[in-house]
């Protein structure tokens, strides 16, 4: 197999996978049937005539109050309007930009948004010695319905428990409808928000399976549902039963999750709805500890197990170096050195095939009118020179799972977010030019893929790829491919995370060094 065929097979596989990941197929938007607001007036046809329909319009004389909650991991602002969440910031190291999981302006998880609840405190700050606390909201309607919402917070972790209690103190049958919503979207770093819209998705867990791309519609009997992006997840997890109805909607091309349940309360009756809320980074171990397959919202592709194994090795090297950039360098070396025999075999096979090109050209000219005889002579040529036509292709294909596992691991690893390396590289999760390399800015604003920053790492990667192609190609007819591949990959990687580009650079250095040794030896 000639080298151009090898390159075409490997490159086509990689490009198709990358293109599919970067440009997922658009889903047809279905207009949900769920109402935008809680409106118990609209359930008249479903209740007996004796039922009392609640208006719950709220008391205008009350003033909206806010409650600040501080834990080790989060800083959350609650509101008495709807007993909702106004802000949920992830507390990070001082040099990191704070992320608010509330992406929009509207309150989240409001119960009857028009109501103004009473609250038992103005602030809650947890410590190691006081590692658990609650904020309690309460409302009594004119119809005799008592609504309570109790948020329970913990000092460590990203879990919050929510208990919603309903009590009918009247002598009538009441039919309140409880609705909780999150969205549109979930927060991420401000400079990544627009580009991350396409990666924001809703998720539901139904029939013991995670559905990461549910279409806008209504779903019944859901264990948990939520919204996630590349690095963060907000999940609403039922603790005592399945959610009867979950609606997935779209606003501004971003997902909205709405959970609703209609409750029948006899006179003096009570009802409790208990759920757990996870709001934080998609750290595999944290999500795995919760259970119910939440860790599957971390998208590591078809080689997920191998990707997680790579991340564990990356974490080990980080403990040694305290720098994720050097951890990536060590990880690449550890992965590529054992694979070097395959790389060497592939390179030797391609060189042997190139040396046979003149003889193969003669055979094609000699037997151009006899294809069957031509195939026989070519195979005899391979056999005589002990050349396997698939020798260059198969080793490269065997390395594809490792490459793809590393690619998806580094592209989606929340550990790399805001992780610095050296010099101007301040964030391995972002493109080189999106960071603080102001000294290299140039007048390229508005150009496709370029913007107004010079991505030094990507340009270095392209140069190394050109050198690698030049070393492995002796056929003048392949000169176009030698130029095309580095340029194409430079454009493709221009906005990729610098941690991923760093891996590719180290990989190219290892490959070039190996090729140089082989050429000198043979």
Domain ranges for the chain: 3-20+306-521, 31-297
**Which burial class, exposed, middle or buried, applies to 66 when counting CB atoms under 10 A from its CB (0-12, 13-18, 19+)?**
middle
Report whether 235 contacts 186 (CB < 8 A). no
Low-confidence ranges of the chain (pLDDT < 50): 1-10, 12-13, 15-55, 57-58, 60, 435-452
Rounded CA gap, 340 and 336, in Å? Answer: 6
Q: List own/partner pairs for 223-227 with CB under 8 A and 24 or more apart.
A: 223/292, 224/292, 224/294, 225/257, 225/259, 226/182, 226/202, 226/257, 226/278, 226/297, 227/182, 227/183, 227/185, 227/186, 227/200, 227/201, 227/202, 227/203, 227/255, 227/256, 227/257
Residue of 216, 250, 253, 210 lying closest to 233 (CA atoms): 210
Edge-to-edge strands of the sheet including 243-251?
A: 177-182, 254-262, 243-251, 218-222
Helix, strand, coil shares of the chain, percent, nearest 5, are 40, 25, 35
Rounded CA gap, 368 and 323, in Å? Answer: 60
Edge-to-edge strands of the sheet including 132-140?
A: 118-119, 132-140, 145-154, 159-168, 270-281, 232-238, 224-228, 201-206, 209-211
Beta bridge pairs of residue 210: 205
Place of tokens 């860790």: 295
Ramachandran region, residue 155 (left: φ > 0; alpha: ψ -120 to 50; beta: rest): alpha
Predicted local distance difference test score (pLDDT) of residue 511: 79
Predicted local distance difference test score (pLDDT) of residue 179: 92
- First vs last C-alpha separation in the chain: 21
Rounded CA gap, 361 and 76, in Å? Answer: 72
Q: Name the H helices within 224-321.
A: 284-290, 304-321
Predicted local distance difference test score (pLDDT) of residue 75: 93
Predicted local distance difference test score (pLDDT) of residue 361: 78
Beta bridge pairs of residue 65: none
Angle (CA) 325-327-331 rounded to 5° is 120
What phi and psi values does residue 172 have, to the nearest 5 degrees? -115, 165
Spell out a b/e string for 313-335, using b for 16 or more CB atoms within 10 Å of the CB, else e: bbeebbeeeebbbbbbbbbbeeb
Q: DSSP state, 4?
A: H
Predicted local distance difference test score (pLDDT) of residue 522: 61
Residue of 221, 220, 236 lying closest to 108 (CA atoms): 236
Rounded CA gap, 416 and 28, in Å? Answer: 34
Residue 281, helix vs strand vs coil: strand
Residue of 161, 276, 257 lying closest to 214 (CA atoms): 257
Tens digits of residue pLDDT in 98-137: 789 998 777 899 999 889 999 999 999 999 888 999 999 9
Report whether 277 contacts 159 (CB < 8 A). yes
Predicted local distance difference test score (pLDDT) of residue 453: 52
Predicted local distance difference test score (pLDDT) of residue 96: 59
Beta bridge pairs of residue 88: 76
Rounded CA gap, 203 and 200, in Å? Answer: 10
Predicted local distance difference test score (pLDDT) of residue 111: 92
Place of tokens 């056999």: 383
CB atoms within 10 A of CB 236: 23
Predicted local distance difference test score (pLDDT) of residue 195: 59
Residues whose CB is less than 8 angstroms from the CB of residue 151 and which lie 6 or more positions away in sequence, other chains included: 69, 78, 134, 135, 136, 160, 161, 162
Report whether 326 contacts 439 (CB < 8 A). no
Residues whose CB is less than 8 angstroms from the CB of residue 217 and which lie 6 or more positions away in sequence, other chains included: 30, 32, 247, 248
Largest CA distance in the chain: 102
Rounded to 10 degrees, the C-alpha dihedral 431/434/438/442 comes to: 80
31-297 maps to which CATH number? Answer: 2.70.98.90
* Kind and range of the H or E run holding 12: helix 3-22
């Amino acid at each position: 197999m000639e080298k151009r065929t090898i390159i075409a097979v490997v490159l086509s596989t990689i490009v198709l996978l990358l293109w599919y990941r970067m440009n997922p197929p658009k889903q047809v938007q279905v207009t949900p049937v769920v109402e935008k607001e809680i409106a118990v007036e609209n359930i008249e046809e479903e209740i007996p005539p004796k039922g009392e329909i609640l208006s719950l319009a709220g008391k205008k004389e009350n003033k909206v109050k806010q409650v600040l909650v501080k834990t080790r991991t989060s800083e959350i602002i609650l509101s008495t309007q709807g007993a909702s969440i106004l802000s949920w910031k992830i507390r990070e190291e001082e040099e990191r930009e704070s992320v608010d999981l509330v992406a929009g302006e509207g309150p989240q998880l409001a119960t009857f948004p028009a109501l103004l609840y009473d609250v038992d405190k103005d602030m809650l700050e947890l410590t190691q010695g006081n590692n658990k606390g609650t904020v309690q909201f309460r409302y009594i309607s004119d119809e005799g319905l008592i609504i309570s919402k109790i948020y329970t917070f913990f000092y460590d972790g990203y879990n919050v428990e929510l208990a919603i209690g309903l009590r009918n103190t009247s002598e009538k049958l009441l039919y309140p409808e409880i609705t909780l919503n999150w969205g549109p979207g979930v927060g991420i770093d401000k400079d990544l928000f627009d580009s991350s819209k396409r990666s924001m998705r809703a998720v539901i867990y139904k029939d013991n399976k995670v559905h990461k791309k549910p279409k806008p519609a209504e779903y019944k009997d859901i264990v948990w549902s939520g919204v996630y992006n590349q690095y963060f997840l907000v999940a609403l997890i039922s603790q005592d039963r399945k959610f009867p109805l979950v609606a997935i909607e779209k606003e501004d091309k971003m997902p909205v999750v709405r959970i609703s349940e209609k409750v029948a309360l006899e006179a003096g009756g009570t009802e409790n709805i208990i759920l757990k809320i996870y709001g934080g980074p998609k750290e595999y171990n944290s999500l795995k500890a919760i259970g119910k397959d939440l860790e599957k919202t971390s998208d590591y592709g078809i080689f997920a197990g191998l990707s997680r194994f790579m991340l564990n090795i990356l974490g080990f090297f980080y403990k040694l170096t305290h720098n994720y950039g050097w951890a990536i360098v060590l990880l690449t070396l550890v992965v590529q050195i054992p694979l070097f025999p395959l790389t060497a075999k592939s390179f030797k096979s391609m060189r042997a095939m190139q040396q046979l090109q003149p003889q193969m050209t003669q055979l094609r000219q000699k037997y151009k009118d006899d294809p069957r005889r031509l195939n026989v002579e070519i195979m005899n040529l391979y056999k005589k020179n002990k050349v396997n036509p698939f020798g260059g292709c198969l080793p490269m294909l065997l390395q594809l799972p490792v490459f793809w596992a590393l690619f998806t691991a580094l592209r989606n690893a929340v550990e790399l977010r805001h992780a610095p390396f050296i010099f101007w590289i301040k964030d391995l999760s972002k493109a080189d030019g999106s960071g603080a390399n102001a000294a290299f800015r140039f007048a390229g604003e508005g150009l496709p893929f370029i913007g107004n920053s010079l991505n030094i790492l990507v340009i270095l990667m392209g140069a190394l790829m050109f050198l690698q192609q030049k070393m492995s190609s002796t056929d003048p007819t392949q000169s176009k491919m030698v130029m095309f591949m580095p340029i194409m990959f430079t454009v493709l990687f221009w906005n990729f995370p610098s941690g991923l580009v760093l891996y590719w650079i180290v990989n190219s250095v290892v490959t070039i060094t190996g090729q140089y040794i082989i050429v000198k030896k043979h």
